[in-house]
Chains A and B, each alone.
Chain A
Amino acid sequence: MANIDEKLQKIAKDLLESGEVSLVIGFAVGSNPQRMRPVFITKAEDANRLSFNHHAVQDLAVFLKKPEVKKFGKIGIVVKGCDEKALNALIQEYQVSRDNIKIIGVECNGVIRQNLADKGETAVSEASVYDKCLICNEHTPILYDYLVPSEDPKLNLSGNLKPYARIEELDSMSPEEKNSFWEKEFDKCIKCYACRQACPLCYCSRCIVEKNMPQWIDTNLEETGNAQWNLIRAYHLSGRCIGCGECERACPVNIPLMLINEKMARDVNNLFGYKSGLDINAKPVFGVFSESDFNEFIK
């Protein structure tokens, strides 16, 4: 058994035995060796199911919004650096109390794209990991109560690959070209809302698409309804998205949703000097006003 697994299991076992938490959310080996899955451990003797490797793609912070999970009270959670930023944002937005959560951070040197893993890819490389891993500054989580070191070698970046390269391509397009690009992408949307459900920060107990008195967002799965849904989600995540990429990974019709989220995150950083999920004591960018805020749009 991998050393990393033993360390995770020991931490979880101790936390559950001492009663410090009543639930540990972590990863276990999934339906095939190239897939990991979330696992919910409530008994110390089950802690030996915990495992971690470069197939642990899920952002487990998503489960903290589920009422069924919330009722466990004090929870231990295994997080990679990106997932941990989601925890920070949830703490900033008063969705999770720092006192109720034990953060079991794991160092991560990149997770393998699931579609490649499903075709047999098992090696972490520049070409096999997600774009988010290529721009990651948080291989070690920012905040943690326990830290488990990675067993993967450091990601070797040649600099030849440009993460989210299409953002620049889109930036250089005319509004009409951009529109036709996104029209084509949103045409694929089936409104399964997996993007929303897989997102740790989409935690509204009643999403705007479910508000029907009045019906704000067209219900159809055609041009108008699909565009309205994807645009409203983009704006609701601006300045909040921490870039875990779960929406794009979950999307069954491969809409490149991270092009939107990453673009909005870059704009927010450029205009307001703010990056989401880095500091639990920072005020969320849209929750504060500063006189130095960008205001060129007021004419």
Chain B
Amino acid sequence: MEEKYFEILAEDLKKFVNSLISDNFNVIAPKDKDGDTFYGKIDKFDEANLDILLPKMSYKEYLLPKTETLFEYSVSGVDVDIKDGLGAVTGENKKRVIFGGRPCDAAAGPIMDKVFNWDYKDEFFNERFKNLTIISIACKKPDNYCFCTEMQLSPESSYGSDILLKKEDNKYFAAVVSEKGLELITPYLSLFKEITKAQIPADKDWKKVFEIEKTKGFLDKNFEHNYFQDRFLSCIGCGICTYTCPTCHCFDIQDEGNLKEGRRIRNWDSCQFAIFTLHTSGHNPRVTQGDRYRQRLMHKFKIYSEKFNKYLCVGCGRCSRNCPEDIDIKEVVKDLAGLI
């Protein structure tokens, strides 16, 4: 659709969000908890922390829950009753709004969408994605772990958002970039003042510090390079990088139950675990943690990009900030870009 532009006073934005909540929208926003900030459901605008750069975890769980029931079964006599898990998703998921996330997090949606609709159309993901409206706020001050600009995005990118807000003193400029976004604000249009694109301050000239294409160039030719084994000796193989990542989407399908009843679920999984690739024979093609970290790099910066012409990374830097052993992925991909 053709983008539309609006201006909204900070106090009216508050009214808008509070109206969404009172009109039964499920509003998810960065929210302070346990001395940190996480995405969570807010009951009023003031619960949202819009000053934080990024919540500790991404909002991936609203697209791909930690555990999702695919179907349930129960057996009575010779009858087997099977209940599709999709029904629950359709019911729960109406009218969910992510408010106050950042452009990097929003970009993760369409990037995951490509995987979940590549050959098999994943109804669970699609149902959740379809019912999610994303209102992001452009960043003014990325930190040293951020590298969205290198990842073909920018702190002001609207890719993946339905509405992108830019704060300026006591008002926000809103770029409404999708039908979903327009539909969301239409009942509340009295709070918004339509303007032209020219009235919105231009994006800053964000500078790149390395070329991600060079990282890919290195990965293309150096699978066996010593860098991986040496550099990732310090990796302890926890799954934090993958679990806090907005785009890592690997899952594991498991059955839980007995002869009478049970369910098939899919759980988050991580390529950083040794068991991820352990064969029944006992052989493991990824023997060392270096092999496993290399896999994460390969998937993000080579394999995915060859298939979908984009990278499986939005440069949010969560994996670096949250790494207990201080492995900084920006430093790593920059190193690799320099090694070519």
Contact = CB atoms under 8 A, between A and B. Distances in A.
A66 B34 CA distance: 32
Contacts of B252: 219
Interface in B205-233: 229-230, 233
B: interface residue count bin: 35 or more
Nearest to A42: B230
Interface string A225-252: 1000000000000000000001001101
B236 A31 contact: no
Nearest to A27: B326
Given A190-B268, A220-B267, A32 B144 contact: yes
A215 B252 CA distance: 14
Contacts of A138: none
Given A30-B328, A194-B239, A218-B256, 18 more contacts: A31-B328, A38-B234, A38-B325, A39-B234, A40-B230, A40-B233, A58-B324, A69-B233, A190-B57, A190-B243, A190-B268, A191-B239, A191-B268, A194-B240, A198-B238, A198-B324, A219-B252, A222-B67
Nearest to B143: A32
Given A67-B288, A192-B239, A252-B243, A31 B320 contact: yes
Contacts of B290: 68
B325 A253 contact: no
B273 interface: yes
B267 A191 contact: yes
A201 to B, nearest CB: 13
A192 B326 contact: no
B145 interface: yes
A250 B234 contact: no
Interface string A107-133: 000000001001000000000000000
Contacts of B57: 190, 252-253
A219 B55 CA distance: 26
B238 A225 contact: no
A68 B226 CA distance: 13
Contacts of A272: none
Contact of A246 (B36, B254, B324, B328): B324
B147 to A, nearest CB: 12
B200 interface: no
B154 interface: no
A210 interface: yes
Top 6 nearest A-B pairs (CB, nearest first) are A194-B238, A37-B326, A221-B66, A197-B238, A192-B239, A250-B324
